[in-house]
Amino acid sequence: MSLPQYDHFINGTPVAPVEGGYFDTENPYTGQIWAQVARGSAADVDAAVAAAHAAFEGPWGGLTATRRGQLLRRLADLIIQHAPRLAEIEQRDNGKLSSEVVAQVRYMGDYFHYYAGLADKIESKVIPTDKPGVFTFTRYEAKGVVAIITPWNSPLTLTSWKLAPALAAGCTAVVKPSEFTSASMLEFATLFEQAGFPPGVVNVVTGFGPEVGEPLVSHPDVAHIGFTGGEAAGKRIYEAAARHLKTVTLELGGKSPNIIFDDADLDQAVKGVVSGIFAASGQSCQAGSRVLVQESIHDALIERLIAFVRTAKLGDPTQPDTQIGPIATRPQFQKILDYIQIARDEGATCVLGGKARSDLGAGQFIEPTIFTNVANHMRIAQEEVFGPVLCVIPFKDEADAIRIGNDILYGLAGAVWTRSLHRAMLVTEKLKAGTVWVNNYRATSMTTPFGGYKRSGIGRESGSDAVYEYLDTKSVWISTDLDVPNPFIRR
């Protein structure tokens, strides 16, 4: 039986790759190849950018903001309607739990509804000025064609975080999904035509970084790059964008501290730790991979945590009772095992897990793993593992917790578990991170900005802040003085 074959999506229609190549996409649970995806090249990028540029200068650019919002609303309804199908395809590609993916895709509909409402609420300013005889105001104008490059862990959600505000701002887009998880984005792209978007507003080119990503980032008609992924790739994109003076939004890695004080509700804190690191098998940029525990409750917390995690069920991610699924890609699977060995070599103690599970599916599983006796300078505490691996670090008091929490190159997220309002306010103020949760973990919303400090990225996604990543500000000066001033005198 022949496999499904996915072409690029350019100018409102599937388009075969110029060079004719395709690559396999694999189900990480079964290990089976289930589809083939177009292998793009610079020529395919040129065609997609040309379509996006023509739409921006033509039919899309000619729409009112209110009309753009109406189209986004239609799209949002279609997303909700097609959520089970889109989620099934994404889950087949990356192995996440079906329940989690369905919820994520349905929430995408809320994202697009939010930005549909925001599209015609982008208001400029009339500015009082110290110059006589002039009237001044600002205009916000769409930057143009946006390149969106997304990873394999949550491809549709992370694309929406960029695409929805970009479209609300009036931009058009070329999306390059991860080569590991391209199918769901290609299926999603067909909904734009059903919603009534002009051809070329959203285009998808699939393939590999050097063949598609690099030509897309450096293309002269691309004005802005939105990227989610690892720090190394983010640096390369930033450097390439800088050579062409393009703006960027980068959401990169994290090594987030989950800080538990001795006055916390330990049962709730344990659930927060598990949600922070073992949900999605740790394959989340905001994972709480460093748990900082006050010394007086260290042993009690570890005992409860181990007992709770032992009950987790690993297995088929399509089954509703499965709690931990496979690692999404074979390279990531090996990387996680390498880090587990690095932790052991550094002297950390593995108190739970630490092994692959070859008896499940195609064997691409790693047990939930907990390390104690971890010093914050160790690689296991400083580098992003992106897997179900937790390191536990004790601290003395508030000042010590803040010091350890900030002693990292990243600053994406963090959490505080305490009953003290004073302590919660102090630590949330002092932690150098873009998001800090108090007595919860991993909560995000379409209404709330998300992004990182330090090496965790540049710019913000979600909330009204995100729209301005895709807009340029223009100042307009109108003379109200009929008497033309002396041109040699600067007023």
Cβ count within 10 A of residue 277: 30
CA-nearest of 141, 160, 159 to 150 is 159
How far apart (Å, rounded) are the C-alpha atoms in residues 399 and 137? 47
* Inter-residue contact 159 to 75 (CB < 8 Å): no
DSSP symbol at 110: H
Residue 17, token pair as written in the block: 């790759």
Asked if residues 136 and 129 have their Cβ atoms less than 8 Å apart, the reply is yes
Retrieve residue 133's tokens: 């005889």
Measure the CA–CA gap between 294 and 353, rounded to whole angstroms: 23
Q: Name beta bridge partners: 136.
A: 127, 477
In whole angstroms, give the CA distance from residue 441 to residue 161. Answer: 19
Rounded to the nearest 5 degrees, what angle is found at the Cα of 182, between the Cα atoms of 177 and 188?
90
Q: Which of 179, 231, 251, 384 is catalytic?
A: 251
Q: Hunting for tokens 């409750």 — which residue is that?
A: 297
Bridge partners (DSSP) listed for residue 8 = 15
C-alpha to C-alpha distance for 9 and 58, rounded to whole angstroms = 19
**CA 67 to CA 373: how far, in whole Å?**
58
Q: Is the Cα dihedral 297, 299, 301, 303 positive or negative?
A: negative
Q: Which residue in the block uniquely carries the two structure tokens 């803040």?
A: 402
Answer yes or no: 303 catalytic.
no
Residue 415 backbone dihedrals phi, psi, to 5 degrees:
-150, 155
Tokens of 333: 């699977």
User: Rg of the chain's alpha carbons, rounded to an integer?
Assistant: 24
Q: Which of 171, 187, 285, 398 is catalytic?
A: 285
Distances (CA, A) of 472 to 171, 331, 417, 453: 11, 39, 40, 23
CA 406/CA 455 separation, integer angstroms: 12
**Any catalytic annotation for residue 391?**
no
CA 160 to the chain's CA centroid: 9
Distance between CA 445 and CA 214 in Å, rounded? 31
Q: Give the Cβ contact number of residue 66 at 10 Å.
A: 10
How many CB atoms sit inside 10 A of residue 411's CB?
23
Positions annotated as catalytic residues are: 251, 285
